[in-house]
Chains A and B, each alone.
Chain A
Amino acid sequence: MGKIIIDPITRIEGHLKVETVVDGGVVKEAKCSGMLFRGFERMLEGRDPRDAQIITQRICGVCNHCHTTAAALNLDSAFGIAGKIPDNGRIMRNLTMGFHQVQDHILHFYHLAALDYVDVAKVATYEGSDRTLNSVKAFISRGELAPFVPRYEGDYRFPADVDQELVGHYVKALEMRRKGHEATAILAGKLPHACSVTPGGMTEVPTVDKIATLLWRAKELREFVEDCYVPDVIKVAETYSDYFEIGKGCGNFLAYGIFDLDGKNPDYTKRDRFFAQGSTTTDLKHQPLDLDQITEWVKYSWYEDGTTGRHPTDGETRPQPNKKDGYSWIKAPRYKGGPYEVGPLARIAVAYAAGDTAVKEMVDSVLGHFKAPPTVLFSVLGRHAARALCTLHIAKNLENWVLELKPGEPAFCEYTIPDEGAGVGIVDAARGALGHWVVIKDKKIGKYQCVVPTTWNASPMDDKGEHGPIEQALIGTTVKDEENPFEIVRIVRSFDPCIACAVHLLNHKGRELRRYVIA
């Protein structure tokens, strides 16, 4: 029996350590720990509630726009204007989130995940005339391969020509994700960290020149997703098909829904959304969303046991660094008492279960290609495929949303900050279900809470001893080469963890010096 500790895990956002106990080549135990404390919650207390709009997106420089959107919905709700945002404001928020998610998923597949499957070094044998590939070849021939090496060695399976094509797409994807940011910024002001999404709607206004340029920018992104991203995920799936059987996870899925198709219903859990809200399991039966079913557990986290089992709005963060059994600063959020996976796979599974015909058609077409049942979705490759399908679904609709904008009509509605109040904002961020909660006291922030996607996915065990989704996906996995544990990093990266988000809530006093991890 031996331990494999990977520290740091790179090519994710933030700081993550994964510790696994391997016996006879099989993972028997797995612990995810992610840690970096910045104290956003405490920082927000006593500030003007509107400042949460600016500050919370700084939780994460990758998923910043998801926080922007959640914060705006949260403040709308606390200010009593959740059902009053003008259509232009609602649509521009959808568009900024849509362009942002398309580039975020492209970034994840090509720049964070693909190097686990694609061997950049094989470009050394390229013989063609493509300028990009020849420049990569020249780079390799100079012998300075940083930052692409050092890396784990061994399990790269593509023939050289496919590796070369995918490296070409890696480079093209750098340009496409930049362009995704540019399209977002046309409405959002700048990225990362947008300025124009605001309680009440948007500070930016739609104009015909923006509509025209956004149409063409949406088309270019859609074509890249159709011509490269989706086919490349299928190539990976065909060549690494054993990963349809690896990394299943907990089998429960939670989605908050995203892209409001109607702005009138102030209850976000019942609002008509492009991706549906709800939960499901591997049986793919749909259950409606009930935010009251969320609790956070701390038996295995470094917090006082007395704070366990609470809803986020009643939650307290009282650290206890040396606590017996504690191994993570991440709390264990549970829905209906169990661990739930969030993210593109959950988004697709919930939409599929809710009977979304467009999603069902896309999923069935991929399953048909592989002549496989829906159960293969619950895997490493299922997550990559679901992420690609989410991207495709959004990319195919961006142009329609652009055409819904109405120049000359308002995008912002006025409000007054109440003396006392409470709000909630929920969205399905790129990485999954994201909730912001606020309590206003004396026109200031009394309390601000975020329960973020990676807190769900990278959670430790709950008080019943049930592991979090990533841990469950790791346990039982066969590791072929303990020196080069590809299986572990491929499983972890399939969740697209964002640890900067997951640990922003931590409070801290007198923590002993332990293993800290950065990646």
Chain B
Amino acid sequence: MSRTIGAIALAAVLLPATLIPARAASDADFKTAYAAADAAEKQAGALRNQWTTTEAALAAARKAAEAGDFDQAVAQAREAEALAKASIFQATSEKEAWKALEIK
């Protein structure tokens, strides 16, 4: 009985939270997300290992921001940052890993 009451109480607390819409992203959110992605992409550039998909995501982020769609802009910037970080990881690990492919 007390378990059921507890579950109802928990639902009563959580339900309103799901009904409140998430805050829409702002220009400031986009600028923060974009700066992080851009910094990571510059690091990939210094390693001479940028990916076309990172560049495409950065361009899509800028385009969405120009259109005032900051949710999309932030999502694209975060995607770009993740891709840039993956390319940095690739370049770093390949500094030694390339030797495994070498014909000997």
Chain B binds chain A: no
B→A interface (CB under 8 Å): none
A→B interface (CB under 8 Å): none
